[in-house]
Structures are given as C-alpha cells and as structure tokens.
C-alpha cells in the first residue's frame, strides 16, 4: 500500500489514494498504522476516493488514530488538496469535495496557501442535545460540576469552545477528556480553549476526540472563531495562533460560508505491507 505522510501545522496524516484501488481499513489496522513507535504514526488517516456524484470531484474520508471514522478535518482538507496536486490527480484551481456530513471547496492560492470553504457553521447542533443547564445566551451551555460555560457548534463535526484567560495554563487535557466523554455527547466532542488577544487575533489549544491535544485543529479554529463572531466579540477575519502555527479564519456571519486559509506540507512518500 503506497501512502504519503503530510501535515497541516503539525497535525499529521497518512494519505492514501483509493481512486483505483479500494481500501477498507479495519479499526485494528488503523491503530497499528497510527502507532508512533511501531507504525507510521499520525493523528488521522485520510482516504482519497472518486465521487459518485457529478457535482463533486472527489470524496474525502477521515479516520482518527483509534480507528473511528469522523466527519470532518480542516487541516486534513488542506493536505487532501495538496495531495491531489502533487499526485497529478487534478489540475483545477478549485475542487469540490464531499465528506461524510457536508461539502467542501478547496482553492489553491499563491504562496502555497490553501483556502477551504468549510460551509456555514451549524449552531443548531446544540439543540439536538438534551442539556440540563442552558444559559440565556443561545450559543452557550453549562457543563461539569463547576458549571463551566462553553459553546457548542458543528463545523461538520462537533466542537465545544471554552473562553479562557490564559491559554498557557489551561488544563486542556483534564477538562478536554472530561467533556469529550460526557454522556451528553453520544458521539464525543472536540474541545477548544480560546484566549482572545484582540478582536482579530486569538490563541487556541484543542483537545481532539479520540486523539487528545494536537498541534493544530483546523475545524477547531473555525469553531472558535465562529463562536466569537456569533457572540460579536471577534471581527470577521481572525488570525488563530495554534501550537503548530497560524491560520486565517474568515466569516461574514449567518447565511454565509466560513473560510479557512493556511498551509499544508508533504513530508515523504512510502509503502507498507498490510
């Protein structure tokens, strides 16, 4: 099985071309491949598939390191687009991609930057859940014994966003794991910790479900900025500083798609016997 190792701001991926050769990975196979000591090592496995829908150029599948399929990955989308270019699978400047839950538009920009139309954020997601303690703010809820105030949103995958005073001292792994496994979220949830520096600049750390804290989370950056814009505390274009680097998130508000702009890197190609 030939593959590419790629990363988006340190969020790393194994990418496989499944257009001509079908590959249906079993959970235990993904776990072995993702092991950083005895396998290849990655946060997510990305599969490039042909689309059966004429409106889309490709289909995009994402699996976490523990073998679970997930709906969305923003950093992965940029790596997905770069992979298509590097392997000669497209010569378009703009490609349309279907995922498990929504559509993406990936656009190649100057200076090796990649822009992804992530579709409109979904704030109705929290209404599908049976929260015991809601706040008057339609974008916030209370969780855990300390009544931690957070906002729940879907960017094709579920996110919980918490505003903190100092991101450096935030107990990301402790709180992240507690919220991720809260039974109120039957499919688990990603947890973002946002420190607002200015209206157009934030710092962010993300605890990803089934993975733990990662160097970067593209959909988490989108979720945090969307929450800030909905609450009118952030501007329509925000630079997000993650552990692995910076992203630009742009959103004009309700009724409009959200855009993510950032880099993607190819590390190496290889093959492995499965």
- Annotated catalytic residue within 79, 150, 160, 217: 217
How many angstroms separate the CA atoms of 213 and 203, rounded?
14
The residue from 18, 73, 79, 222 that is catalytic is 73
181-233 pLDDT, tens digit per residue, is 888 788 899 999 999 999 999 999 999 998 899 999 999 999 999 999 999 99
Domains of the chain, earliest start first? 2-119+263-271 (3.10.310.10), 123-256 (3.10.310.10)
Q: Is 73 a catalytic residue?
A: yes
Alpha-carbon distances, residue 248 vs 37, 158, 236, 269 (angstroms): 33, 20, 10, 28
Is 166 in the active site?
no
pLDDT per residue as tens digits for the range 70-128: 988 999 999 999 999 999 999 999 999 999 888 999 999 988 899 999 999 998 765 55
pTM: 0.91
């Amino acid at each position: 099985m030939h593959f590419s190792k790629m990363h988006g701001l340190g969020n790393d991926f194994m990418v496989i071309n499944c257009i001509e050769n079908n590959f249906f990975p079993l959970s235990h196979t993904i776990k072995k491949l993702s092991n950083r000591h005895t396998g290849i090592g990655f946060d997510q496995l990305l599969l490039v598939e042909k689309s059966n829908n004429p409106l889309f150029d490709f289909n995009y599948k994402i699996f976490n390191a523990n073998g679970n399929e997930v709906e969305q990955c923003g950093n992965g989308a940029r790596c997905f687009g770069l992979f298509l270019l590097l392997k000669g699978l497209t010569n378009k400047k703009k490609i349309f991609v279907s995922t498990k839950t929504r559509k993406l538009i990936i656009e190649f920009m100057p200076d090796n930057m990649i822009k992804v139309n992530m579709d409109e954020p979904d704030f109705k997601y929290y209404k599908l859940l049976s929260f015991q303690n809601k706040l008057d703010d339609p974008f916030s809820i209370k969780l855990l014994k300390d009544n931690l105030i957070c906002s729940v949103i879907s960017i094709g995958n579920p996110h919980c966003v918490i505003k903190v005073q100092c991101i450096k001292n935030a107990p990301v792994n402790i709180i992240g794991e507690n919220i991720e496994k809260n039974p109120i979220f039957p499919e688990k949830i990603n947890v973002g910790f946002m420190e607002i520096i200015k209206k157009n600049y934030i710092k962010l750390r993300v605890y990803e479900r089934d993975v733990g804290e990662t160097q970067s989370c593209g959909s988490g950056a989108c979720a945090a900025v969307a929450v800030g814009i909905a609450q009118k505390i952030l501007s329509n274009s925000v630079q997000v500083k993650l552990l692995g680097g910076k992203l630009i998130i742009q959103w004009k508000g309700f009724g409009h798609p959200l855009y993510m702009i950032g880099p993607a890197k190819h590390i190496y190609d290889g093959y492995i016997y499965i």
